[in-house]
Amino acid sequence: MTRDWPGIAAAASVAALIAGPVLAVLWFAGGGALPGPGDWAAVRFTLLQATLSAGLSVALAVPVARALARRQFAGRRVLITLLGAPFILPVIVAVLGLLAVFGRSGVLNLGLGWLGLPPVQIYGLHGVVLAHVFFNLPLATRILLQGWQQIPAERFRLAASLGLGPAQVARILERPMLRATVPGALLVIFAICLSSFAVALTLGGGPRATTVELAIYQAFRFDFDLGRAAVLALIQTGLVGAAALAALRVSRGDGLGAGMDRALRRWDANSLALRVQDATVLTLAALFLLVPLSMIVIKGLAGLPHMPNSVYSALIVSVCVSLLSMSLTMLLTLTMGLAALRHGWIEAIGLLGVAMSPLVLGTGLFILINPWLNPSSLALPVTALANALAALPFALRVVLPALRRAEHDFGPLADGLGMAGWARLRWLYLPRARPALGFAAGLSAALSMGDLGVITLFADPQQATLPLQMYRLMGAYRMEAAAGAGLLLLAASLAIFWTFDKGGRSDADA
Partner 1 sequence: MLTLEQLRITQGDFSLTADFSVPQGARLALIGPSGAGKSTLLNLIAGYLEPTAGRVLWQGRDITGQPPGQRPVSMLFQDNNHFPHLSVAQNIGLGLRPDLRLSAAQHEQVAQALSRVGLDGLGGRKPGTLSGGQQSRAALARVLVQRRALVLLDEPFSALGPALKAEMLDLVAALVTETGATLLMVSHDPDDARRIAPLASVVADGTVSAPMDTETLLATPPAALRAYLGA
Name the site residues for partner 1 (rule: CB under 8 A).
Answer: 1, 409-410, 412-420, 422-424, 426-428, 431-432, 509-510
Nearer to partner 1 among residue 56 and residue 436 (C-beta): 436
Determine contact, residues 53/136, Cβ cutoff 8 Å.
Answer: yes
Determine contact, residues 490/129, Cβ cutoff 8 Å.
Answer: no
Q: What is the largest CA-CA distance in the chain?
A: 78
Nearer to partner 1 among residue 261 and residue 409 (C-beta): 409
Closest approach, Cβ 500 to partner 1, in A, equals 19
Closest approach, Cβ 473 to partner 1, in A, equals 47
Residue 295 to residues 63, 109, 129, 306, 480, Cα–Cα distance (Å):
26, 15, 20, 17, 12
CA-based radius of gyration for the chain? 23
Closest approach, Cβ 367 to partner 1, in A, equals 47
Cα–Cα distance for residue pair 509/486, rounded to 1 Å: 37
Determine contact, residues 329/398, Cβ cutoff 8 Å.
Answer: no
Closest approach, Cβ 411 to partner 1, in A, equals 9
Determine contact, residues 256/440, Cβ cutoff 8 Å.
Answer: no
Closest approach, Cβ 334 to partner 1, in A, equals 17
Closest approach, Cβ 439 to partner 1, in A, equals 17
Give the residue from 98, 188, 199, 94 showing the smallest Cα distance to 141.
Answer: 188
Determine contact, residues 327/133, Cβ cutoff 8 Å.
Answer: no
Nearer to partner 1 among residue 76 and residue 434 (C-beta): 434
Nearer to partner 1 among residue 77 and residue 408 (C-beta): 408
162 — phi, psi (to 5°)? -90, 0
Nearer to partner 1 among residue 415 and residue 460 (C-beta): 415
Determine contact, residues 393/255, Cβ cutoff 8 Å.
Answer: no
Nearer to partner 1 among residue 269 and residue 419 (C-beta): 419
Nearer to partner 1 among residue 320 and residue 413 (C-beta): 413
Closest approach, Cβ 103 to partner 1, in A, equals 50
- The residues, any chain, with a CB within 8 Å of residue 66's CB and separated by 6 or more, are 144, 148, 174, 278
Instruction: Provide the residue type at 238 as one letter.
Output: G
